[in-house]
Structure 1
Amino acid sequence: MSFKNLGLCDQLLRAIKEQGYDEPTPVQKEAIPVILNKRDILAGAQTGTGKTAGFTLPMLQLLHDHKPTKGKHHVRALILTPTRELASQVQESVEMYGKFLPFKSTVIFGGVKINPQIAALRKGMDIVVATPGRLLDHVSQKTIDLSKVDFLILDEADRMLDMGFINDIKKVLAVLPKQRQNLLFSATFSNEIKKLTDSLLNSPVLIEVARRNQSSEQIKQVVHPVDKTRKRELLTFLIKKDNWKQVLVFTRTKHGANRLAGQLEKDGITSAAIHGNKSQNARTKALADFKSGQVRVLVATDIAARGIDIDQLPHVVNYELPNVSEDYVHRIGRTGRAGNNGEAMSLVCVDENEFLANIEKLIKKDIHKSVIKGFAPDPSIKAEPINMGGGNRAKGGGGRGNSRNRNSNRNNNSRGANSSRGRR
């Protein structure tokens, strides 16, 4: 099947051709015809499957088919994402595929000044990509009109719920028209996602291009057992031994990301850290330097990495395993994208064996264990509790509940708290 068979207009086909794409991915084959039939969808798709184009292309097609009478542009499509990096990526796709169509679009998120966003919205926009917190800031200031929205798209809905955005999402839904098309994309299907689906979607079509919570078959996964105190030494050894040019490394904490990036620099490996405490400009520069090859290693926390979209990223390393098992699937999904092969390795100390067991249970497979010569763990070292920060020690998926509770408490605070959450 080619894109021509999906019912897309010449302007979209021209933009697709310019990007060098010939055939739609599985999620695009399934989602585009359903969306064009004006049905709500619940799509379970791993990152790197082409899901952004899977909703961007039919959205643009429907806007093209039902152009309003001439006059001021109104917000007709609203795309919500959990992070500013992902919002920027989605906006780039909207501009890229809609370049030959007359629609105006913008992206709004926190961490930057609000006045330029207000100025852009006043000009009239057809499509808005937003993070929930900053969007609500605009709603409260009456600088955005959502009364004519035809399409609502929730991208990476599972991550939005994990980050405590459920109350913000409900507030957004309250100001949208009742009659609209809803598209929900999620890499995993939790009970919370099912509850949101029941309240949001109208007789949705279920689309799954990978089994629920399943890691991509394109990704080679391996665990290297190692003592905690030797992880950095092993990481440096692997990067230098195989001359890795581009590797994304995950840590559990912001402080850990900063510390590891500094240590790798001392080892002669160009590195940068990206996390929620970094300014938007710093995050954008770090990602640009990583994509261009000026930086070999990008050290990231889970939240900050959600907007990282690199087609041929060869290596992902879990320097520390996540305490939330689903985050492992999200992390390794940064490699093996768009049909390319990728490698995901985890440096696991004895303290993390419980996390590893929960991950293997989730993905329903045992991950191959390989001890690197010279880095065999000391069998006399006993496991110790992992400090998850803030006094919370989580087992398996328990940390996500704690995180959500903390975020829920913030939801009851002032508007300023909502604003800070939107700046992630």
Structure 2
Amino acid sequence: MNMSEETEEKQCNFHEMELDDRILKAIAKLGWQTPTLIQEKAIPLLLEGKDVLVRARTGSGKTAAFAIPVIQKILNFKQTASQQEIKALILAPSKELCHQICGVIKDLTIKCSREVRYIDVSPQVDLSVQKPLLVEKPDIVVGTPARALQHVKAGNLNLKKSLELLVIDEADLVFSFGYEDEMKELMRNLPKIYQAILASATLSEDVKNLKNLVLHNPVTLKLEEPELAPASQLTHYHLNAEEMDKATILYALLKLHLIRGKTIIFVNTVDKCYKLKLYLEQFAIPTCVLNSELPATIRCHSVDQFNQGVYDVIVASDEKALEAPTDSDAARDVKKSKRRKDKESGVSRGIDFRCVANVINFDFPLDVNAYVHRAGRTARGNNQGSVLSFVSMKEKILLDKVETKIRYGQEDVSVFKSYQFKLEELESFRYRAKDAWRAVTRIAVREARLKEIKQEIFNCQKLKSYFEDNPTDLQVLRHDKALHTVRIQRHLADVPEYIVPATLKSLAGITKTRKRRREFRGSESSNSKFQVKKSNPLLSMQFEGFGKKKKKSS
């Protein structure tokens, strides 16, 4: 009997795991037909009460793998409990991940929301705001280690008497985010006996240290699978380009709709994040930004808007990779940075960006793990995805390291495909791109960030009452000096037919669209609305990924 036949025979479905009917109904409503591999292996072990260390790649369903048994065990406790108590503490290294975990819990408890209550304490509001909610003793408390410890010290959170379950998600980031001291102090405020679960994408030294601190005789689930989705699901491309070429190609790809679907563009610094946003705005390409210097509310709101389809493109800075760079110059650059970053923020890790079709590495990541986690934002579940990496001469050595790491054990197989793009055919685009790129000066970037901070001040609920009492202060802010902004030239929003290379016109639908527009203008048919719809190629074309586009262009 081969391994695939054995796996098929032993596959265990959700209804065979002795789960409560209310959980099964919630799972059915979510459309989860069968458990993922990690869910199939982890849920029965956790229901048995074992300590478990779960290692599985990003997008494999780890959150549900621990959330389902936590909810089931709480429902079991309720059958004999005489009073309401806090039974589970779920810790995660970032506010965004805490928000995401609560979203999964909300979906899974939709049929038992009265019986199982939860609270997210990660938002940075005053402790007194969350104290009344904790006094009610919700069944599940979700938060970062630092935030949970603050409530313990304030006497709002007493875990020694009632806690039964401790979950730490993205465990390999907990220490690297600077939570080692908080975790050790928090452990002193937990009962001696409890069930613990560590979930992680990698088994690093930090995870091993955390394992010794938290777990007792655990079962280790290390799935024999690559860190990324298989080649049949996730395609990797690279394109050799320097800074100005990167900007030109990105403009052409987005403006000619050569990439379709939701796209995350990764850069390595916060300033580059804003520079790219201001650059794309000149061509009427709407984007939102995500980085560790933004307040948590803005970050969560940006992710929600991206997931809801308000934006199709998000520019994210993955500066966390700069904390332990291999390059000494990069290390010195990090030490020079005086800007206040939120250590409870993560962009490439943990956040569940939904239905991402493409990841573009405008700046190539500085280490292999950063590449893995960026690429893990797409091809989640059973969805297809593509990663396109722009690689400069200086970044070529980093590409080689990633190539060696993710060969999937096949020494002679190249993971990265060369993305065929004739840069010489984009000379007309280059003139526009060069002017727009140079227009985004360091002053423009700084002023854009100041504008964002002001906007946050105006939207801050805490300051509304202050401004009501001190209207002159608000006027000073509103009538401050005019911000230096990048001049928007309206003609840049349109792409004239004459600057589009002949080889790309059919791909972008330019020729067909212009021809139909001329036919529409000359037509006297009464069915005008229908013709306008047909003239728009985006209404009838679907995202085809990088690979198919490449075949067509060649």
For this structure pair, what is the TM-score category when the shorter chain's length is used for normalisation?
Answer: 0.7 to 0.9
User: Which sits farther off after the overlay, 122-131 or 252-261?
Assistant: 252-261
Q: Displacement, 1:306? A: 3.0
Amino acid at match of 1:348: V
Asked if the contact 1:215/1:333 (under 8 Å) is kept, the reply is yes
User: Which structure features the higher share of helix residues?
Assistant: 2
Classify the secondary structure of the residue corresponding to 2:265: strand
Give the letter aligned to residue 211 of structure 1: E
**CA displacement at 1:229 relative to structure 2:** 2.7
Q: Which runs of 4+ in 1 moved over 4 A?
A: 68-72
Within the candidate set 180, 197, 203, 1:189 is matched to: 203
Residue of 94, 97, 104 corresponding to 1:86: 97
Which of 345, 367, 370 pairs up with 1:327? 370
Distance 1:125 1:307, change over 3 A: same
Structure-1 residue corresponding to 2:389: 346
2:176 aligned residue (141, 159, 162): 162
Residue 284 (structure 2) aligns with: 268
The structure whose Rg is larger is 2
Counterpart Cα distance in 2 of 1:178 and 1:344: 46
Structure 2 residue corresponding to 1:50, chosen from 61, 85, 88: 61
Contact 2:262 2:355 in 1 (8 A): no
Partners of 1:194 and 1:356 lie apart in 2 by 28
Q: Matched residues in 1 for 2:63 and 2:74: separation?
A: 17
Cα distance in 2 for partners of 1:163, 1:230 equals: 35
Equivalent position amino acid for 2:269 in 1: T
CA distance in 1 between partners of 2:316 and 2:259 (Å): 20
The answer to whether residue 313 in structure 2 is matched with residue 313 in structure 1 is: no
The 1:311–1:272 alpha-carbon spacing in structure 2 relative to 1, beyond 3 Å, is closer
Which of 423, 433, 446 is matched with 1:374 structurally?
Answer: 423
Q: Residue 311 of structure 1 contacts residue 338 of structure 1 at CA under 8 Å; is this kept in 2?
A: no
Greater mean alpha carbon deviation, residues 361-370 or residues 121-130: 361-370
Secondary structure of the structure 1 residue equivalent to 2:237: strand
Aligned-partner Cα distance in 2 for 1:291–1:375: 36
Contact 2:171/2:210 (8 A) holds in 1? no
TM-score between both structures, scaled by the size of structure 2 = 0.65
- Quote the Cα distance in structure 1 between the aligned partners of 2:137 and 2:402: 46
Amino acid at match of 2:422: K
Match of 1:75 in 2: 86
Separation of aligned partners in 2, 1:123 and 1:105: 10
Instruction: Name the CA shift for 1:86/1:210 in 2 (closer, same or farther; >3 Å).
Output: farther
Task: State the Cα distance separating 1:227 from its structure 2 match.
Answer: 0.7
Choose between structure 1 and 2 for higher RCO, CA contacts under 8 A separated by at least 6 residues.
1
Give the structure 2 partner of residue 107 of structure 1.
Answer: 120
Q: Is residue 152–residue 182 contact of structure 1 (8 Å, CA) maintained in 2?
A: yes
In the alignment of these two chains, the number of paired residues is: 375
| TM-score using structure 1 length | 0.83
Residues 110 and 133, structure 1, Cα contact 8 Å, conserved in 2? no
What's the CA shift for 1:176? 0.9
Question: CA shift at 1:350, angstroms?
Answer: 1.2
Task: Write the letter of the residue equivalent to 2:376.
Answer: G
- Give 1:139-288 correspondences, 5 Å limit: 139-147=152-160, 148-211=162-225, 214-217=227-230, 218-241=233-256, 242-288=258-304
Q: 1:324 and 1:201 mapped to 2: Cα distance?
A: 29
**8 A contact 1:104–1:125 mirrored in 2:** yes
In structure 1, C-alpha distance between the alignment counterparts of 2:107 and 2:157, rounded to whole Å: 24
Shift of 1:34: 0.7
**Deviation, structure 1 residue 371:** 4.8
Structure 2: stretches of 5+ with no match in the other structure: 1-11, 319-345, 409-413, 426-554
Which range moves more in the overlay, 18-27 or 280-289? Answer: 280-289
After superposition, where does 1:25-44 map in structure 2 within 5 Å?
25-44=36-55
Alpha-carbon distance, 1:311 to partner = 4.0
Per mean C-alpha deviation after superposition, the further-off stretch among 147-156 and 365-374 is 365-374
Partners of 2:348 and 2:373 within 8 A in 1: no
Q: Is the 8 A contact 1:75 1:149 kept in 2?
A: yes
SS in 1 for 2:395: helix
* Per-residue deviation, 1:70: 4.9
Separation of aligned partners in 2, 1:136 and 1:216: 36
Deviations 1:357-409 (A, max 9, x none): 22223324642233521179xxxxxxxxxxxxxxxxxxxxxxxxxxxxxxxxx
How far, CA to CA, are the matches of 1:277 and 1:187 in structure 2?
A: 25
**1:394 corresponds to:** none
Distance in 2 (CA, whole Å) between partners of 1:257 and 1:57 is 37
Closer, same or farther: CA 233–111 of 1 in aligned 2, 3 Å: farther
Calculate the aligned-residue CA RMSD, in Å. Answer: 2.0
Partner AA of 1:203 in structure 2: N
SS where residue 28 of structure 1 aligns?
Answer: helix
